[in-house]
Amino acid sequence: MMFPEAKILDVDLTNQKISVRSLPGEIYRLYPGGSSLGLYLILQEMQAGIEPFSPDNMLVFTVSPFTGLPVAGLSRVVVTTKSPLTGTIGDSQAGGFFPAYLKANGYDAVVFKGRAANPVYLFVNGDKVELRPADHLWGKVTGDAERLIKEELGDEGLEIAQIGPGGENLVRYAAIMNMCNRANGRNGTGAVMGSKNLKALVVKKNKIAVKAFDKEGLTTLTKNVKERIRNNESIDGLGEFGTDGDLDGFNELGFLPTNNWQTGWFPEGAESICGTTMAETILVKRDTCYTCPVRCKRVVEVPGKVDPFYGGPEYETCAAFGSYCGITDLETVALANQLCNMYGIDTISCGGTIAFAMECFEKGLFNTDDTGGMELKFGKGDNLAILIEMIAKRQGIGDLLAEGSYRAAQKVGGEALKLSISVKGQELPAHMPQFKPAVGLIYAVNPFGADHQSSEHDTFLVADPDSQERRWLGQLGVYKQYQDTFDLDDDKVRFAFDTQCFFSILDTLCLCQFVWGPAWELYGPDDIIQLCKYGIGWETSLFELMRVGERRINMMRYFNAREGFTRSDDALPERLFDPMPDGPSKGITLDKEEFEQALNTYYQFAGWDVKTGNPTETNLRKLSLDWVVKR
Amino acid sequence: MQVKVKLFFTLRRGRSRVVDIQLNPGATVKEVIINLGIKPSEVAIVMVNGHYSNMEKQVDDGDIVALFPPIGGG
Ligand code: SF4
């Protein structure tokens, strides 16, 4: 079989030059899409030590050979660049319809280099690709910019990935938004786009021409999909309650990050901001991505306050603006979500940074002179909207908070340094390592900062051994049964590393993790093998795919090593090693020594140097990355 | 005896957030689960009166049992 070629659109913003090239199938097979392809191009073409906001930073949008096939969970776009938040390689994924239509125009990747002299946007209509002026769009929130672009092109049939004022103003955690409610949220990719004076990437909704290699074969995955959903409680429940369905459960267990992670116990607010409450109150519709029947996306409305156009909050957003900030009111959280989508900023880092500011205020590190008169106290939701706007526009204290909690803490100094709950400068997502230590391990070692979607969670190891979740994990060699989630022994570390490689496959092939993940999702690991075979004629195995996943992680760690990152950057915030203070989890502790030991084990399992935490030359060569070493 | 059961995430579907059930003295958490028409394999984590527990645990009159399916990322 011939592996498909990758078609790459190169855009030199400085010189306004556009060209197209293709990458042979034998290379694409090693880096088959997503940030793997992005990393391949970046490591080939970008020097070490380039500042994130330099014109020489590359900004790469990628899909995969699978994007646009009519199967659930195959419409994802990945953005890869050097992150202005973490200083590491940056990686961020988003769904929606944009990815399928980017591919429908024939492209696997769009590479931006340089910086335009004035604001521009790129309009892609098949072979017709043009840079258009965007001065009149600069400063506009996403909804307004989208309307104006559709008006001036006289076309409603467009998909638009764009930045809002957050990206324009270089908020270090600015997002790239598509549909005005799907975000390449993390790592500040939107700020890099802003630094290039690039407002939007607009694609025409041309006919989706991606053809399955074996259409008949592919129906083995698609024909019973409704029944598959009905028979899968987790997936059906995800559709019903959204990702926020878990929130009050985490609280009941004593592990819902609250008041800037000082506790895991939020009895006064968890019920009111959970997914069940959302479904019973402000939810007006469930939305979806291209050909996905799961429909996990929320659309919420509060007349006169929250506009359904901007979608609705995920679990992470409800936690970041809810429990992190001690805020108990769902409408306030929904409005904060809307504002982030309008201004184009990441909800997790934004909520995490505001929670940090609240604790600084309560501890006397900020006063009302710093905040322009605002009382930044936990539980006070009335300042939230104004704070988000100030961050997006870098006004007043917003200018400091736009830097993220880590840099803000460096500036404030003293006790503030302990209050930034981040790894490599990226604020932690809402899964507590004290409850899920394997997730905590991945928070520490993940190349682009703390991330909850880069490995499987510990909770499945206490699930029934006969459950579907465990049978699927069994395909990855995960078999050990645990009584509770708190261990961090060798088997746990292997579980963390192996599932990290598996999730890395998904972020390479651009598969939605809720559809293709290795445990509770719609399809299991063996189904991916079928997808490869019927979708593009790739006869492969989990063995080859796990190598693909491992290769991506190693390329990322190699990129970081070039930038001077070492093991000391793989550290969790100190607060996480304190005993849980109250509620049902009271006294439970993540043991620091055990954690350090697990880190050693992780590097050994990964084949990396234990002292530096960086990939060894041998391991890179094992993964066909000898060209990286030779450069 | 009477036990209060709190259900989370998918275990709530077609039921409610909190259910009161009557049981014979000496019943275990597993019997609570079966009594509610839930498959024990669907339950991953059990708490009794706010403490981490398990299926074999005997419950007492007035106990509060919380049941969780395996809950992952997102
Ligand atoms: S499961 Fe949700 S996020 Fe994933 S493709 Fe379907 S609708 Fe989109």
φ, ψ dihedrals at A12, nearest 5°: -95, 105
Does residue B22 register a pLDDT over 80?
Answer: yes
Identity at A440, one-letter amino acid code:
G
Look at phi and psi of residue A607 and say left if phi exceeds 0, alpha if psi is from -120 to 50, else beta. left
> Is the pLDDT reported for residue A77 higher than 80?
yes
Residue A4 gets which letter from DSSP? P
Residue A12 pLDDT greater than 90, yes or no: yes
Average pLDDT over residues A39-48: 97
Q: How sure is the predictor about A630, in pLDDT bands with cuts at 50, 70 and 90?
A: confident
Q: Does A452 lie at the interface with B, CB-CB under 8 angstroms?
A: yes
C-alpha A566/C-alpha A543 separation (Å) is: 29
Helix (H) or strand (E) holding B18: strand B18-22
- Report whether pLDDT(A210) > 90: no
Can you tell me the distance from the alpha carbon of A78 to that of A81, in angstroms, rounded to the nearest whole number? 10
Structure confidence at residue B73 as a pLDDT band (50, 70, 90): confident
Q: What is the pLDDT of residue A96?
A: 98
Residue A592, pLDDT above cutoff 90: yes
Cα A295 to Cα A289: distance, rounded to the nearest angstrom: 7
User: Would an 8 Å CB–CB cutoff place A462 in contact with chain B?
Assistant: yes
Burial bucket for residue A284 (CB in 10 Å: 0-12, 13-18, 19+): exposed
Fold for the domain defined by A224-422: 1.10.569
Chain A contact for B51 (CB, 8 A cutoff): yes
What is the longest distance spanned by two Cα atoms in chain A? 67
Which of B4, B43, B71 is most worth mutating to test chain A (most A CB atoms within 10 A of its CB)? B71
Query: Each residue of A367-383: pLDDT tens digit?
Result: 999 999 999 999 999 99
Q: What pLDDT, in 10s, does the model give residues A427-457?
A: 999 999 999 999 999 999 999 999 999 999 9
pLDDT digits (tens, 9 = 90+) for A470-528: 999 999 999 999 999 999 999 999 999 999 999 999 999 999 999 998 998 899 999 99
**Residue A481 CB-density burial (10 A; 0-12 exposed, 13-18 middle, 19+ buried):** exposed
Distance B5 CA to ligand 1 centre (A): 31
Confidence of residue B44 (pLDDT cuts 50, 70, 90): very high
Q: Is the CB of A7 under 6 A from ligand 1?
A: no
The CA-CA-CA angle for residues A447, A441, A439, to 5°, reads 100
> Three-state SS for B62?
coil
Which segments of chain A belong to CATH 1.10.569.10?
A: 224-422
pLDDT of amino acid A463: 93
Residue type, A589: T
Mean pLDDT across chain A:
97
Q: How confident is the model at residue B72 (pLDDT cuts 50, 70, 90)?
A: confident
**What band does A222 get if pLDDT is binned at 50, 70 and 90?**
very high
How many other C-beta atoms lie within 10 A of the C-beta of residue B56? 9
> Quick one: which of A14, A349, A323, A354 has its CA closest to A172?
A349
Interface test with B, best of A230, A246, A432, A434 (most B CBs within 10 A): A246
Residues of chain A with CATH 3.60.9.10: 6-204
| pLDDT given at position A1 | 74
Q: Tell me whether A436 touches chain B (CB under 8 Å).
A: no
Contact B73 A453 (CB under 8 A): yes
Q: Say what the pLDDT of residue A149 is.
A: 98
Give the torsion through C-alpha atoms of A116, A117, A119, A124, to 10 deg: -40
Q: Under an 8 A CB cutoff, do B70 and A520 touch?
A: yes
How many CA within 13 A on the CB side of residue A245? 28
DSSP string, A15-54: TTEEEEEEE-HHHHTTS-SHHHHHHHHHHHH--TT--TTS
Task: Characterise B37 by phi-psi region: left (phi > 0), alpha (psi -120 to 50), beta (else).
Answer: left
Tell me, in angstroms, the distance from the centre of ligand 1 to residue A72's CA. 8
| The ligand 1 atom nearest the CA atom of A235 | 1
Q: What are phi and psi of B11, to 5 degrees?
A: -65, -15
B72 vs A contacts (CB less than 8 Å):
234, 456-457, 459-460, 517, 519-520
Q: What is the pLDDT of residues A291-301, one digit of tens each?
A: 999 999 999 99
For residue A94, list its beta bridge partners. Answer: A77
Q: Tens of pLDDT along A411-424? A: 999 999 999 999 99
Mean pLDDT of B23-43: 95
Mean pLDDT over all residues of chain B?
94
The Cα angle at residue A526 between residues A525 and A529, in degrees rounded to 5: 105
The residue whose CA is least distant from atom 2 of ligand 1 is A296
Residue B36 scores a pLDDT above 80:
yes
Strands A158-162 and A198-204, bridge-based pairing? antiparallel
One-letter amino acid of A523 = Y
Query: Are A333 and A347 spatial neighbours (Cβ–Cβ below 8 Å)?
Result: no
Q: Does the domain made of B2-68 have the CATH classification 3.40.50.2000?
A: no
The average pLDDT across A142-166 equals 98
Q: CATH fold of A6-204, please?
A: Aldehyde Ferredoxin Oxidoreductase;  A, domain 1 (3.60.9)
Compute the nearest-CA separation of A315 from chain B (Å).
7
The Cα B48–Cα B54 span in angstroms is 8
Average pLDDT over residues A398-408: 98
Q: How close A185 gets to chain B, by Cα (Å)?
A: 14
Whether A248 and chain B come into contact, CB under 8 Å, resolves to yes
**Do A245 and B42 count as a contact with CB atoms less than 8 A apart?**
no
**pLDDT confidence band for A214 (50 / 70 / 90):** very high
Q: Does B37 touch chain A (CB under 8 A)?
A: no
- Specify the DSSP element, H or E, that contains A152: helix A142-153
- Taking contacts as CB-CB distances below 8 angstroms, the residues of chain B near A439 are 73
pLDDT exceeds 90 at position A95: yes
Which overall architecture, per CATH, does domain A437-572+591-630 show?
Orthogonal Bundle (1.10)
Domain ranges of chain B: 2-68
Q: Do B17 and A237 touch (CB under 8 A)?
A: no
Please write the tens of the pLDDT for every residue from A312-370.
Answer: 999 999 999 999 999 999 999 999 999 999 999 999 999 999 999 999 999 999 999 99
Residue B71 pLDDT: 80
What pLDDT was estimated at residue A55? 98
Q: Tell me the CA end-to-end span of chain B in Å, nearest whole number.
A: 38
How many angstroms separate the CA atoms of A452 and A446, rounded? 10
Please report, for residues A260, A356, A394, B26, the alpha-carbon distance to residue A374 in angstroms, rounded to integers and kept in the order given.
18, 15, 16, 56
- What is the pLDDT at residue A375? 95
Q: Which token pair is A408?
A: 């803000």
Does residue B64 contact residue B50 with C-beta atoms inside 8 Å? yes
pLDDT tens column, A115-132: 999 999 999 999 999 999
Contact call for residues A263 and A324 (beta carbons, < 8 A): no
